[in-house]
């Protein structure tokens, strides 16, 4: 016969187990219901740069169509500073419930390579989608005698230390491209940092520098009106814009230089799969919308959609390429020296 104390203990254990199972079932039910009803309130989208820039304008374009494709509005919040780090720090620390997203860019892969970020963004964030890409153009003042890249290279070899190139700050994408060009071409360029592509463009127009690597969106009008001349593009293919399609790629010219910047949408790590699916499908449909496509193309970006899985693979591939570039060009050492 089982002792009475043992029976009481067994009954208590069974009761406790029943309560725990019931609680877990209720919690699971609540989570499932919350996921099924997602989204049931506005979604905040952090733009890690100032209003009016390319990332901000893209976010504003998506904002207009979000209610149609997600069922809820997007609320765009600008969090500029730290080369994007302030905004991405806030995104990385947000609750992974689908109600805080962020505009992503290639810079979130670059900054951790220099050891200056609070979070390691490639692992603290996860991509929802890539929206568009843009190469850089090698641009010179149209009054300069150079009509081909070879002419610039020859000048740099004949006049060492005389060729200055502008970039958007040490460690920026344009700096990496400029140093890569110098490395591949076997020349030396004098670096001149600016606050952004617009400042580099002004310096180029004023002949304070001789070369700059700038996105098409910044210099298209100057190329059209003949004040600047584009000698090459860093894209894998030529630009589709009819007014810029004549610009050759560096690869066509025999120089192994391929680099594109990109814009996308990201979320904090550990987003529930069901919510990620809703967001993936919603943004895919948004990017296919004719009005949004026109807006993106008007910003001189090229639509290049990637889903979450393919975006993650792109992040991994780009990190490896960028790490190799900053090591081989000496940029990593420049960053370390600047810190000292």
The 3-class SS string of 233-278 reads ECCCCCCCCCCCCCCCECCCCCCCCCCEEEEEEEEECCCCHHHHHH
Q: What CATH number labels 43-133+261-328?
A: 3.40.190.150
**What pLDDT shows up at residue 19?**
46
Quick: pLDDT tens for 204-257: 999 999 999 999 988 999 999 999 999 999 999 999 889 999 999 999 999 999
What is the C-alpha separation between 244 and 97, in angstroms, rounded? 42
Q: Which residues of the chain have pLDDT under 50?
A: 1-2, 6-17, 19-22, 24-32
Q: Which two tokens stand for residue 335?
A: 């960053």
Q: Comparing 43-133+261-328 with 137-258, is the CATH topology the same?
A: yes
Neighbours of 340 (CB within 10 A): 4
**What pLDDT shows up at residue 340?**
65
Please provide the size of the chain in residues.
340
**What pLDDT shows up at residue 8?**
45
The position carrying tokens 């699916």 is 277
Superfamily of domain 137-258: Periplasmic binding protein-like II (3.40.190.10)
Secondary structure of the chain: what % helix, strand, coil (to 5)? 50, 20, 30
Going from N- to C-terminal start, the domains of the chain cover: 43-133+261-328, 137-258
**What pLDDT shows up at residue 1?**
45
CB of 192 closer than 8 Å to CB of 209? yes
**What pLDDT shows up at residue 57?**
87
**What pLDDT shows up at residue 4?**
56
Residue 167 DSSP code:
E
């Amino acid at each position: 016969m089982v002792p009475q104390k043992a029976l009481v203990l067994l009954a208590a254990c069974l009761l406790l187990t029943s309560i725990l199972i019931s609680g877990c079932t209720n919690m699971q039910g609540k989570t499932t219901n919350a996921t099924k009803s997602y989204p049931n309130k506005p979604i905040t989208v952090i733009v890690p740069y100032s209003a009016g820039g390319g990332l901000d304008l893209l976010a504003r374009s998506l904002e207009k169509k979000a209610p149609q494709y997600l069922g809820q509005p997007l609320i765009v919040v600008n969090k500029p500073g730290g080369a994007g780090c302030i905004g991405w720090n806030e995104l990385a620390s947000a609750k992974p419930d689908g109600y805080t997203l962020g505009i992503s860019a290639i810079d979130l892969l670059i900054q951790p390579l220099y050891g200056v970020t609070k979070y390691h963004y490639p692992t603290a964030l996860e991509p929802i989608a890539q929206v568009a890409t843009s190469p850089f153009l090698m641009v010179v003042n149209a009054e300069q005698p150079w009509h081909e890249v070879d002419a610039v290279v020859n000048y740099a070899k004949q006049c060492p230390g005389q060729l200055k190139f502008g970039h958007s700050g040490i460690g920026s994408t344009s700096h990496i491209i400029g140093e890569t060009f110098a490395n591949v071409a076997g020349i030396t360029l004098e670096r001149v940092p600016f606050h952004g592509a617009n400042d580099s463009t002004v310096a180029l127009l004023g002949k304070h520098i001789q070369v700059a690597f700038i996105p098409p969106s910044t210099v298209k009008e100057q190329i059209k009106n003949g004040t600047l001349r584009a000698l090459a593009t860093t894209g894998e293919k030529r630009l589709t814009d009819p007014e810029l399609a004549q610009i050759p790629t560096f690869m066509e010219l025999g120089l192994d230089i391929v680099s594109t910047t990109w814009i996308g949408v990201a979320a904090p790590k550990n987003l529930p799969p069901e919510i990620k699916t809703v967001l993936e499908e919603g943004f895919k449909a948004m990017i296919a919308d004719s009005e949004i496509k026109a807006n993106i193309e008007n910003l001189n970006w090229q639509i290049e959609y990637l889903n979450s899985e393919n975006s993650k693979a792109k992040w991994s591939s780009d990190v490896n390429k960028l790490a190799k570039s900053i090591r081989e060009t000496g940029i990593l050492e420049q960053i370390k020296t600047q810190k000292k």
